[in-house]
Amino acid sequence: MMNRILRELDMLYSDTRRDPSLKEKLLATRAAEDPTESFCRIARDAGHNISVGDLFAVGEEYSDNQCKSQNGGNHYPYKGFSDTYETFLASL
């Protein structure tokens, strides 16, 4: 699942390079009442199947994989997960 969402986010990122108005719409979601839902709605309207649950799952799966590493991985669960939504917006 994580790979599918990361591919969708990568394609969405590429679309923002070709369409500056899409980039502005996504950045404007920070001011929305429900930022992640607004982000996902805009992404779906642009043809990318991304849900709020997908965004949270990517951060959780990454954290879980760090804890499962055999060679010196994180021995204790993180207190939180990476925020895929904010990380994506920061990359814009």
Calpha distance 41→81 (Å, rounded): 22
pLDDT digits (tens, 9 = 90+) for 73-88: 666 665 655 688 888 9
Q: Is it the case that residue 2 has pLDDT exceeding 90?
A: no
pLDDT digits (tens, 9 = 90+) for 19-34: 999 999 999 999 999 9
Q: Is it the case that residue 67 has pLDDT exceeding 70?
A: no
Query: pTM surpassing 0.85?
Result: no
Calpha distance 24→40 (Å, rounded): 14
pLDDT digits (tens, 9 = 90+) for 48-58: 999 999 988 88
**Taking the domains of the chain in order of start, what are their residue ranges?**
2-91
